[in-house]
Amino acid sequence: MTTITSRDNKWLKSFRAALRGKGPDPAKNEPIGIEGPKLVEEALRSGLEVEALLVSESGERDAAPILKAASETETGIPRSQILRTTDKLFESVSGTEAPQGVAALFRQPEWGLDDVLHGAGAMRGNSPLVVVLAAIQDPGNVGTILRSAEAFGATGAIATRGTADPWSPKALRASAGSTLRLPLLRGMAVPVLLAQLRIAGVRIYAASSVRNGHAGESPAPADWRQPAAVFVGNEGAGLPPEITRAADAVISIPITDAVESLNAGVAASIVLYEAARQRAQAAKGGD
């Protein structure tokens, strides 16, 4: 391994920017910073191409499975890009309160709208089920929604302009690795996205933050068996009017009067669960 002993080393500067930033700039093709042995290994097994691996003295014990996972990929990790440093210097670049001594920089994966609509890997070819994050600012909510999206069989996700970067360190941790596997587009303009979904024949649902109904009532009807995209809005302001006006239907989750609204991550998870339930029932031949 190449040993780094200076705080001003160019690699440490790159790791510091990636692990403490708000996400990679797509225009500058900046790398994704991933910290922790489990997430780094997940990224490798997801097919992401690594630019550099950084291991501290105490993190060396976790390096073996990571290097094994890298050896099973097409590109691996060049020996010159495996970097070693002290625990103290690693702590200076880490974005967590309890650094685990392992981090890596990965190239941004290249997804297209077709990937988002039709899935990737084992999900490829499924009927489109897309979750759209519209100006959601909490990276924890962003990660939670993407984790649920993968768990409930969404084919992909789209983050519109103004949404916290799904590839930011906090969102990545909250997604538990789902962001690394789920086809994802970032920074799309809402009018462009709405037009492309229409052209693709995808039904548009707007998840409203306004209470509509009471506990015990049935949710607003939505047929998730057909190609569909659900828009989830900002934690405070909800969805922009242009989305609710363009939507085929506005849906909401019945809640008691004592509760004003649901957390964006929770609400999206409930909607995605209902979509998965309907699709599983249809696959079994149910009504």
Edge-to-edge strand ranges of the sheet holding 249-251: 184-188, 156-160, 129-133, 228-232, 203-207, 249-251
Q: What pLDDT is stored for residue 171 in this prediction? A: 96
Residue with tokens 């890997």: 121
Q: How far apart are CA 234 and CA 206, in angstroms?
A: 12
Cα angle 202-208-212, degrees, rounded to a multiple of 5 = 120
Q: How far apart are CA 47 and CA 287, in angstroms?
A: 38
Q: Which is more confident, 71 or 157?
A: 157
Map 77-127 to HEC letters.
CCHHHEEEECHHHHHHHCCCCCCCCEEEEECCCCCCHHHHHHCCHHHCCCC
Q: What is the pLDDT of residues 262-282, one digit of tens each?
A: 889 999 999 999 999 999 998
Residue 219 pLDDT > 50 = no
Closest to 155 measured CA to CA, from 208, 230, 212: 230
Q: What is the pLDDT of residues 109-139, one digit of tens each?
A: 999 999 999 988 767 778 999 999 999 999 9
Q: What pLDDT is stored for residue 75 in this prediction? A: 80
Q: What are phi and psi of 93, to 5 degrees?
A: -110, -15
Identify residue 183 by its one-letter amino acid code: P
% of the chain residues with pLDDT over 70: 94
Structure token pair of residue 76? 């691996």
- Extract the runs of DSSP E, i.e. beta strands, from the chain: 2-4, 32-35, 50-56, 82-85, 102-106, 129-133, 156-160, 184-188, 203-207, 228-232, 249-251
Mean pLDDT calculated for residue range 169-173: 95
Q: What pLDDT is stored for residue 228 in this prediction? A: 96
Q: How far apart are CA 135 and CA 133, in angstroms?
A: 6
Lowest mean pLDDT among 155-169, 200-214, 263-277: 200-214
Confidence at 193, pLDDT banded by 50, 70, 90: very high
Residue 252 pLDDT > 60 = yes
Confidence at 286, pLDDT banded by 50, 70, 90: low
Q: What pLDDT is stored for residue 215 in this prediction? A: 40
Q: How far apart are CA 6 and CA 35, in angstroms?
A: 20
Q: What is the pLDDT of residues 40-63, one digit of tens each?
A: 999 998 889 999 999 999 999 988
Q: Do the Cβ atoms of 119 and 37 come closer than 8 Å?
A: no
Domains of the chain (ranges; CATH) run 2-106 (3.30.1330.30), 113-283 (3.40.1280.10)
Predicted TM-score of the model (pTM): 0.89
> For residue 190, how many C-alpha atoms fall within 13 Å in the half-sphere facing its CB?
20
